[in-house]
Amino acid sequence: MTKERVYLFDTTLRDGAQAHGVDFSVEDKILIARSLDSLGIDYIEGGYPGANPTDTDLFSRRRQYKNATFTAFGMTKRAGRSVSNDPGFRAILQSEADAICCVAKSWDYHVRVALQIANDENLESISQSIVAIKDHGREPMLDCEHFFDGYKSNPEYALDCARSAYDAGARWVILCDTNGGTLPEEIETIVTEVAKVIPGDHLGIHAHNDTENAVANTLAALRAGARQLQGTLNGLGERCGNANLISLIPTLLLKSEYADRFEIGVTPEKLRQITHISRVLDEVLNRTPDLYAPYVGAAAFATKAGIHASAILKDPKTYEHVDPEAVGNRRKIHVSEQAGRSNILSELERFNIDVAKNDPGIDRLLEEVKQRQALGYAYEGADASFELMARRMLGSVPKFFDVDSFRVLVERRHNAVGELVTVSEATVKVNVDDEVVMSVGEGNGPINALDMALRKDLGRFQEYIEDIELVDYKVRILTGGTDAITRVLVESMDRDRNRWFTVGVSPNIVDASFEALIDSINYKLFRDHASAH
């Protein structure tokens, strides 16, 4: 039996950006888009090019994405204006998008109260917008806002809106449960009705989680005929969030009810990235990953009950609904020595570190990793620190330099003309080749000053570290209060745009930062100096 193709549409960068407390930079957006593209998502909705500089910048770089159709979001042209006479609409048309998704009202009440135009004007605006997008050589789509509420209030008009788009040539007409209040059985009934008018392979679903049914609503629409599913990574989105693609994708691939009938752009091989991709978004947002997240949470395959644990070891399949490895997650049982060892081995392989499988150094390394994790270290986002530690314990990293002491001073005071100013100054005492070098640096803050002082003079190693640039610096407080444990992640880059990530942990943010900065310098020296000698 040939499977029907179902298309995945990600709106993390657009609707996800509406979530409370979310503020993506263009670099954040690029990183997320790259992850989505590599996972096999069909459509990436990038934002509102033309309407804000971040999104315009993002779209200008979209050629980096190989597979996904890069989609711009905007409103249909305003009623009473021609397509070329509406500056907002023109800006979207001129953006560098592969596809354009317009949003239009499909609830007659909103047309009357919010737009204050006649129902027909709205229909006309929909079809003219779709035609214009098509004429510009972009794939046209329409988001029908408040479709389900609209349908319940005036089914004919809601359908007219959808049909206007379809008849004008829209590749997709997306039924949006904008306020998130519709329940699965209603979704299924209404989508079934709509699919009698518009073919399912032109219908999409956009669900919100306001009743905790966004995933179920999306699956209900799929069963009823819709073939484009919209959602976001980790369900990020306005209010309670959008349908969670991180939960939907494994269900579509691993549950026979769906896997036997449908095909998606994500392959079973790519599915193993999904736990990692969920974490990437958390990293970008500087959030603690949800321990309990379906499929990808650290507790998703953890079990506490003793009886279950031993039974799981006997035969995991009878206690686990899917294989944790299929989603790149792992089973967590208190006796996981074996799993740990094989994890370490596969990491060493990834860094091309040659070591015999029975080398006792591996057990010491495993022990060290466990101890450090208990202290708050996380190596998932800090490859370079992990590699340095592993190579050190296996004996291959020379000691390039030693920091004997440092001192950082931050002072706020009135300057000579009576203004309040803050100065940050750091001094370091470094030992290179048995020679003591003292350096002093100034910066915008204590960490920056320390970084400046550290990289000022490393003697004969100086030439190797001069092109290090610190491109990101993240701080996470692991427990409450200002005296809590702090984890610092530093992202560094060299002139060839190689990037590496290091970590430091301490109750003192300066110490934690110092550790990550030192790891970054040592990693660079190991890679460029040690390998050259």
CB atoms within 10 A of CB 233: 28
Residue 323 as a binder of its own copies (CB under 8 A): the answer is no
Q: Residue 169 or 251: which CB sits closer to its own copies? A: 251
Compute the distance between CA of residue 312 and CA of residue 272 in angstroms, rounded to an integer.
21
Strand 4-5 with 262-263, pairing: parallel
Q: Residue 160 or 425: which CB sits closer to its own copies? A: 425
Question: Do residues 16 and 242 lie in contact, with contact meaning Cβ atoms separated by under 8 Å?
Answer: yes
Contacts (Cβ under 8 Å, ≥6 apart) of 397: 388, 391, 522, 526, 530
Which range in 155-163, 364-372, 494-502, 510-518 contacts its own copies by CB under 8 A? 510-518
Question: Do residues 231 and 7 lie in contact, with contact meaning Cβ atoms separated by under 8 Å?
Answer: no
Min dist CB 195 to its own copies, Å, is 17
Min dist CB 181 to its own copies, Å, is 2
Pick from 124, 263, 511, 528: which binds its own copies (CB under 8 A)? 511
Site for its own copies in 397-416 (CB under 8 A): 403-414
Min dist CB 407 to its own copies, Å, is 4
- Show the beta-strand stretches assigned E in 210-316: 228-231, 262-263
Q: Residue 99 or 327: which CB sits closer to its own copies? A: 327
* 208 DSSP assignment: B
Residue 12 as a binder of its own copies (CB under 8 A): the answer is no
Site string for its own copies, 98-127 (x = CB under 8 A): ---------x-xx--xx-------------
Site string for its own copies, 427-466 (x = CB under 8 A): ----------------xxxxxx--x---------------
Contacts (Cβ under 8 Å, ≥6 apart) of 243: 205, 206, 207, 208, 209, 214, 215, 217, 218, 229, 230, 231, 232, 235
Min dist CB 231 to its own copies, Å, is 11
| CA distances in angstroms from 260 to 1, 20, 215, 253, 327, listed in the order given | 9, 38, 19, 9, 18
Site for its own copies in 30-89 (CB under 8 A): none
Compute the distance between CA of residue 329 and CA of residue 444 in angstroms, rounded to an integer.
40
Residue 333 as a binder of its own copies (CB under 8 A): the answer is no
Question: Do residues 157 and 150 lie in contact, with contact meaning Cβ atoms separated by under 8 Å?
Answer: yes
Pick from 169, 297, 340, 361: which binds its own copies (CB under 8 A)? 297
Residue 128 as a binder of its own copies (CB under 8 A): the answer is no
Give the binding-site size for its own copies (rule: CB under 8 A): 118
Q: Which two tokens stand for residue 468?
A: 């290090």
Min dist CB 121 to its own copies, Å, is 18
User: Rounded to the nearest 5°, which phi and psi values hold at 45?
Assistant: -85, 115
CB burial class (10 A; 0-12, 13-18, 19+) of residue 192? middle
Q: Residue 212 or 433: which CB sits closer to its own copies? A: 212
Q: Which two tokens stand for residue 254?
A: 């691993």
Residue 392 as a binder of its own copies (CB under 8 A): the answer is no
Site for its own copies in 174-233 (CB under 8 A): 179-186, 209-213, 215-216, 219-220, 223
Residue 309 as a binder of its own copies (CB under 8 A): the answer is no
Pick from 244, 329, 502, 522: which binds its own copies (CB under 8 A)? 244
Q: Residue 259 or 432: which CB sits closer to its own copies? A: 259
